[in-house]
């Protein structure tokens, strides 16, 4: 039964195990390309205004260096290895060169500062790339800025209920953000996809569900029109 969803699967941070193949690494992207799966990855703006691929704002979880990406240059970041491997943090340029139109790309923008600069750098680096790219973010300001620039890229709003602050949690899962930034698609946590207040949007927008970790979760949601951002791919 899962076969009908196969074309809707997306490799979250590539295909990795965080043992031999670390997440958001060129090696993880090569595995996704080998399996002909779209790749989702995260970008940050560095101190020297470049774009590096990594999920967390802080490097400690995967490099054991308690440093923040925004305070480091690419040269400094390239001295670090991911986990106990020889893989380094890739730049966006390196990832684009590797992927080279072979599979679609979903770029998540990580930013709570300097959004204008990040967008400028991102659009410049993407300008010569001919492959299929869409962009997503939790940051409504970024969506508004990209819309204002009339970017050719589809831009989606990420929606989650993960936060320690109650008021912020209410805002994050409310429909106010959707109405404010008018995204092209919604990327919704699997934990809140069935919330009543979101139901009317599920037929109005393309929907991405994250992060799926077992094939049974896809069958439970049971909608072959959604796209599924998944760990532990490819599913057997």
Give catalytic residue positions: 12, 55
Closest CA to 231 of 219, 221, 222, 217: 217
H or E segment to which residue 220 belongs: helix 215-221
CB 194 within 8 A of CB 171: no
- Where helices occur in 18-139 by DSSP H, the ranges are 26-34, 60-63, 74-77, 92-99, 115-126
SS3 content of the chain, % helix, strand, coil (to 5): 35, 20, 45
Instruction: Measure Cα distances from 31 to 12, 15, 73, 156 in Å.
Output: 12, 6, 28, 25
What token pair was written down for 89? Answer: 């943090």
């Amino acid at each position: 039964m899962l076969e009908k969803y196969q074309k809707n699967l997306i490799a979250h941070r590539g295909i990795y195990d965080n043992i031999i193949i670390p997440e958001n690494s060129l090696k993880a992207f090569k595995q996704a390309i080998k399996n002909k799966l779209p790749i989702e990855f995260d970008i940050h703006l560095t101190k020297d205004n470049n774009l590096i691929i990594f999920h967390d704002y802080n490097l400690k979880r995967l490099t054991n260096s308690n440093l923040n990406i925004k305070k480091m240059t690419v040269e400094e970041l390239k001295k670090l290895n991911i986990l106990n491997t020889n893989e380094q943090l890739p730049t966006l340029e390196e990832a684009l060169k590797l992927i080279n139109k072979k599979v679609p790309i979903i770029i998540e923008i990580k930013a709570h500062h300097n959004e204008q600069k990040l967008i400028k750098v991102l659009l410049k680096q993407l300008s010569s790339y001919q492959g299929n790219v869409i962009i997503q973010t939790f940051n409504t300001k970024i969506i508004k800025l990209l819309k204002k620039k009339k970017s050719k890229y589809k831009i989606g709003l990420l929606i989650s209920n993960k936060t320690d602050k109650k008021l912020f949690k209410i805002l994050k899962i409310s429909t106010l953000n959707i109405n404010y930034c008018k995204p092209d698609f919604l990327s919704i946590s699997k934990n809140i996809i069935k919330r009543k207040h979101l139901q009317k949007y599920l037929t109005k927008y393309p929907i991405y569900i994250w992060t799926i970790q077992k094939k049974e979760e896809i069958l439970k949601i049971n909608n072959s029109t959604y796209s599924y951002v998944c760990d532990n791919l490819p599913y057997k």
